[in-house]
Structure 1
Amino acid sequence: MLPLYENIKMLREREGLSQEELAKKAGYTSRASIAKIEKGLVDLPQSRIAKFAEIFGVSEAQLMGWTDISNEVDPQWGDDEANIEYLKDNPRLLDQYIELTRKNDTIGLLFDKVKDLSPKDVEKVLKIVELIDQENE
């Protein structure tokens, strides 16, 4: 299957969108259209590729698989590789870091003024979020 179709599915899942939600955003009438696209059964015109790129906040080249879109992380979280290395001995916080940086845009807004976090600072943020989660349970 072409990277375009795999990337649409990966980005949809990363954004936490259902096929139905993505269909609405992209101007399709049913989730079946998205299912067909994700299976590579539909040739997408450039205008649709541009629309999907806009929805996911990536370039058309990234969506097509010409440039990498793997797990890019907002720079507000600092050096992603260093953070993962630092947190590897604490699986609970590492899982929380992955969840927050890959899937949760809203928590990122909480820290939108913080730039270039060190791994130790990221750990502090994660502990604060963990305390908030525990309080809400």
Structure 2
Amino acid sequence: MDPLYLQIRNLRKNLGMSQQELAKKTGYTSRSSIAKIENGEVDLPISKITLIANALNTNPSALMGLDSEINNRKKESQPFNLETLKKIIDTESELAYKSLVRLCKHKRIQFDWTEKMVSDLSNIDIDEYLRFESYNDMLDIDKIDNILKTLNISIEFVLGFISAMLDLRDNKINIDF
């Protein structure tokens, strides 16, 4: 990613705009002000970056290269989906799964629902559900998905909860009060 001053220069040239035109659109009195900016001789406050971005038909984050950085970070981060949950359960099975089960049981109790009600709404055999909730018996990921949907628990919340439990286990969270 080019530095800000090069981004400004390149975008201005791509638009076929002169330094004088950019100066006029941004409230600078002369072309030399834009030349100093494009040579990297001036540190711009965000207010000027915003003016320049608007004059160049873009937004400040794109002009500063933040849009591409944000998109790169999104690509690097794990998606919040059922497959991610399955991978975490597979790699951190005992604690991750126990955390998931406790979360589901807590939510069921919070709704004041019976195990049978959750079982029926999730299309899971009652005995299988009871083994899940009472003994942490492993269910396939599709059945877990049905339970989460029935209890209105998002994958993002489950992954955050499990992540917090794993961090506590690994002493990455300071719980001093």
Pick the TM interval, shorter chain.
Answer: 0.3 to 0.5
Structure with the greater relative contact order (CA < 8 A, sep ≥ 6): 1 or 2? 1
User: Normalised by the size of structure 2, how large is the TM-score?
Assistant: 0.36
Structure of greater Rg: 2
